Amino acid sequence: MHKQKSALLGRRGFLQGTAALGAILLGGPSVANARLAAAAAGIRAQDWHSLPRNDGSTVTAGPEYLGGDFQLARAADGSFEPGRTFISEVFQSTGWFNMVGMHWVADVPEGTTLELEVRGSLDGTVWGPWTPVGHVMEARGDEEVPRGLETFTDAVEFGRASAMQYRITLETTDTRLSPVVRRVTATQIDALDSPGLEDLDARGHAIPFRVGNGGAPTARLILRDGPNGWGPTNFAPDSPYYWEPYAGVYPTQFVTIHHTAWANNPENPVATVRAVWYYHAITLGWGDVGYHYLVDQYGNVYQGRGGGHATEAGHVSRYNHHNIGVCLLGQFEPGAPNVPPGGEPTAEALDSAMRMAALQSAYWGLNPLERAAYPKPDASCRPQLVNHRVCGHRDWGRGASCVRTACPGINVYKRLPAIREQAAALIPDIKDFHLMEILKRG
Ligand SMILES: [Zn+2]
């Protein structure tokens, strides 16, 4: 995933590092089309804007207000106490939601930290555990907060909830300084009104994910659009695909493997894919999902980013040109902070990731076993790394690169050599590119 932080930085470092991200925000003119697409696809969200107050209260406000003033308490001599916790009111939705994305505006001086946790409840009475919000993301947001002021993190998956609550912990190592929290927003995403895999099959338009040999495919290729699509579908043909000024078509030279770092084995992976799309496209303000393809635990492959198969997407900050992103649903880095427990990828998911890598390699004439230099190096944050044609997100994080991530998790990463070998062995058997012809259209 687009992790801007990883175990490499340590949990304490990541929220301190957010100011640096502000200078390199991405985004485009509007997420209006994405909102239309979400509505048509039945994906809903509710934003709770709250202003944490120093007296312990929360004021619920509109998006234009930044009037929170929660900070560390002062001792008698005026210095700040070393730590303080704030627990919000309960945000009770009128419906269900399966995902919460937290974003906030706060001053966090060097030497101080802000940590945010959330918990969810099915009924507002029995609560799940406090869960730290995920890693800081590059985002522009979709509201009127000036760019760079607001900090976004990865979303937290609840499965199904109707209520949530957040907890802030402030700490300082310099008693002259305190963070100040101006506003906290909880975006509750409801992608539960989603077809299941059996519904897609029942529509009778399933496309077998058949690549090369290996017998009858058991996995599906699930497009965004059309009768077998996971939606959203109504991007107008003349609408801009956002992510300007970067959007463009760059013939594929690399296939990069990711994980979402969300829960493993989601009950309905279609709903998870829809929530990933919403969070990237609208909450983070990207206009579309960051990955070209997503792979569930059954090996089903979901078409991601619109615009055609070699359109630049947003999955490796600064290395998105000529680079296809294939993301496994799940968290595969045991012991990683701020995310669900790490697990093992299924054989089906690994097989489909391998077959997609083989298909891309065969189509574009790439040798998965070969290493190559990234073709568009620039300033210090994007040195000309030499990587395998089929590599992992973390491979783009070496040297002076700004990328810092454990993605796709060690339990996937350690299998990349085998995936490269299998893909290279499969390529001579790939004579049929009808799937690429389908995906070419986007
Ligand atoms: Zn990644």
d(CA 436, CA 442): 10
Other C-beta atoms lying within 10 Å of the C-beta of residue 202: 11
257 Cα–ligand 1 center, Å: 7
403 Cα–ligand 1 center, Å: 10
- The CATH number of 44-190 is 2.60.120
Helices (H), 318-433: 347-364, 410-413, 416-426
331 Cα–ligand 1 center, Å: 11
Instruction: Check residue 141 and give left, alpha or beta (phi > 0: left; psi -120 to 50: alpha).
Output: left
Interval 381-397: pLDDT, tens: 788 899 999 999 999 99
Please give the distance of CA 326 from its chain centroid, rounded to a whole number: 12
407 Cα–ligand 1 center, Å: 5
70 Cα–ligand 1 center, Å: 33
299 Cα–ligand 1 center, Å: 18
19 Cα–ligand 1 center, Å: 21
383 Cα–ligand 1 center, Å: 18
295 Cα–ligand 1 center, Å: 13
For the cut 70, the answer to whether the pLDDT of residue 400 exceeds it is yes
For the cut 70, the answer to whether the pLDDT of residue 6 exceeds it is no
259 Cα–ligand 1 center, Å: 6
| C-alpha torsion sign, points 152, 158, 160, 164 | negative
312 Cα–ligand 1 center, Å: 15
187, 101 Cβ separation under 8 angstroms: yes
350 Cα–ligand 1 center, Å: 15
pLDDT band of 226, cuts 50, 70, 90: confident
pLDDT band of 214, cuts 50, 70, 90: low
d(CA 153, CA 223): 27
Average pLDDT over residues 52-57: 90
326 Cα–ligand 1 center, Å: 9
Coil, strand or helix at 370: coil
Place of tokens 């802030």: 168
Helices (H), 124-222: 197-202
Q: Which residue has the higher pLDDT, 119 or 218?
A: 119
- Residue percentage of the chain with pLDDT more than 90: 50
The token duo for 410 is 């060690």
1 Cα–ligand 1 center, Å: 3
395 Cα–ligand 1 center, Å: 10
Please give the distance of CA 88 from its chain centroid, rounded to a whole number: 25
Q: Which pTM does this prediction carry? A: 0.84
Nearest partner of 278 among 134, 163, 157, judged by Cα: 157
324 Cα–ligand 1 center, Å: 11
441 Cα–ligand 1 center, Å: 25
Per-residue three-class SS string for 16-64: HCHHHHHCCCCCCCCCHHHHHHHHHHCCEEEEEEEEECCCCCEEEECCC
Right CATH number for 197-440 from 3.40.80.10, 3.20.20.140, 3.30.56.10, 3.40.50.1400?
Answer: 3.40.80.10
314, 286 Cβ separation under 8 angstroms: yes
CA atoms within 13 A on the CB side of 337: 17
The token duo for 123 is 């009924």
61 Cα–ligand 1 center, Å: 34
408 Cα–ligand 1 center, Å: 6
> Starting at the edge strand that comes first in sequence, how are the strands of the sheet with 254-259 ordered?
207-208, 220-222, 301-303, 293-295, 323-328, 254-259, 390-392
- Residue percentage of the chain with pLDDT more than 70: 86
Place of tokens 């640096």: 20
413 Cα–ligand 1 center, Å: 11
Q: Which of 106-110, 213-217, 360-364, 380-384 has the lowest mean pLDDT?
A: 213-217
428 Cα–ligand 1 center, Å: 29
Strand segments (E) across 65-179? 70-71, 83-87, 91-107, 112-121, 131-132, 136-137, 150-153, 156-172
196 Cα–ligand 1 center, Å: 25
Nearest partner of 303 among 265, 277, 266, judged by Cα: 277
Coil, strand or helix at 147: coil
Coil, strand or helix at 246: coil
Q: Which of 53-67, 154-168, 195-209, 241-255 has the lowest mean pLDDT?
A: 241-255
130 Cα–ligand 1 center, Å: 24
| C-alpha torsion sign, points 72, 73, 75, 79 | positive
Nearest partner of 254 among 64, 416, 437, 37, judged by Cα: 416
Domain 197-440 in the same topology as domain 44-190: no
pLDDT band of 13, cuts 50, 70, 90: very low
User: For the chain, what are the domain ranges?
Assistant: 44-190, 197-440
For the cut 90, the answer to whether the pLDDT of residue 256 exceeds it is yes
315 Cα–ligand 1 center, Å: 6
363 Cα–ligand 1 center, Å: 23
260 Cα–ligand 1 center, Å: 7
User: Which range, 127-141, 321-335, 396-410, is most confident?
Assistant: 321-335
